[in-house]
Amino acid sequence: MARGLLLLLGLLIGTSGAQAAPSASIYLEDLTWPELRADIQAGKTTILVPIGGTEQNGPQMALGKHNVRVKVLAGKIADTLGNALVAPVVAYVPEGNIDRPEGHLRFPGTITLPPAAFETTLEYAAKSFKLAGFRNIVFLGDHGGYQKNDDAVAQRLNREWAGTPVRAYALTEYYRASENEFAQLLKSKGYSEAEIGSHAGLLDTSLMMATDPNLVRSDMLGETKPGDGTHGDPRRSSAALGRLGIDLIVAHTVAAIKSATAHH
């Protein structure tokens, strides 16, 4: 009996000391902590922090556009890099003053945070990733309104971490590719600036169709009008156009991350 107890104890000790194999998922929230530790030890030392926002997107597109889009694109970027994982999406961002609602806040469902609260969220998320063992912490902002906040947080962290090998990056290439460069690509294919739009138009809606078509109300594409939150004309939007944008955004962002981290 004593021998049997010793064998059982040996098995338990062996199991508790076993190392988890690197995981199959690139999304941090899908992993257990031993799987995450194994991934980092295997070389996945870059963490992408996708930053979205919850806001109105016209009558034809769901409020979670930015959150869903940035998670999908961050996943594709991580897959292409090969040494990266994706953090949970930051879904609450500055959208303006709650006491004097303007812009997107005039529509139900838009959620806002004070800029200081948003920056603190990013700062402590980044510090948590540093504690876990990540060396490159990359903010990917899908919305234009907080790009300067992302950069301010990265600069503060890098001053604090100057004597360490860890760095934070607020790369604007992701946002520029999703807005300016994709817009230029659409213009080269004959679409007008008025169609492409600046919010919930052809560009935005096509990207959503390519990432999650369930969030687009196709029967409403011809129903948009001034004052409904749409800036552009989504009627000729398509998943095929959106896939062109995805390829462009992923390629430009991967190149920017490789350049920034190699330079450091």
Tens of each residue's pLDDT in the chain, 264 residues: 445 444 444 444 344 445 666 678 999 999 999 999 999 999 999 999 999 999 999 999 999 999 999 999 999 999 999 999 999 999 999 999 999 999 999 999 999 999 999 999 999 999 999 999 999 999 999 999 999 999 999 999 999 999 999 999 999 999 999 999 999 999 999 999 999 999 999 999 999 999 999 999 999 999 999 999 999 999 999 999 999 999 999 999 999 999 999 977
Which tokens belong to 126?
């980044």
Tokens 């963490």 -> residue: 47
User: So what's the pLDDT on residue 1?
Assistant: 47
Integer-rounded Cα Rg, in Å, for the chain is 22
What confidence score (pLDDT) does residue 178 get? 95
Amino acid letter at 76?
K
**Residue 258 and residue 264: Cα distance in Å, rounded?**
10
pLDDT at residue 22, rounded to an integer = 62
CATH architecture of 24-263: 3-Layer(aba) Sandwich (3.40)
Angle ∠(239,240,245) on CA atoms, nearest 5: 90
**What is the spatial distance between Cα 60 and Cα 264, in angstroms, rounded to a whole number?**
43
The phi and psi torsions of 242 (rounded to 5 degrees) equal -60, -35
- Nearest to 66, CA basis, from 26, 104, 29, 25: 104
3-class secondary-structure state, position 190: coil
Contact 112, 95 (CB under 8 A): yes
- 115 and 92 Cβ atoms separated by less than 8 Å: no
Q: Measuring CA to CA, how many Å separate 259 from each of 169, 228, 232, 252, 264?
A: 11, 41, 34, 11, 9
Which residue in this structure is represented by tokens 């199959």? 24
| Cα–Cα dist 146/173, whole Å | 14
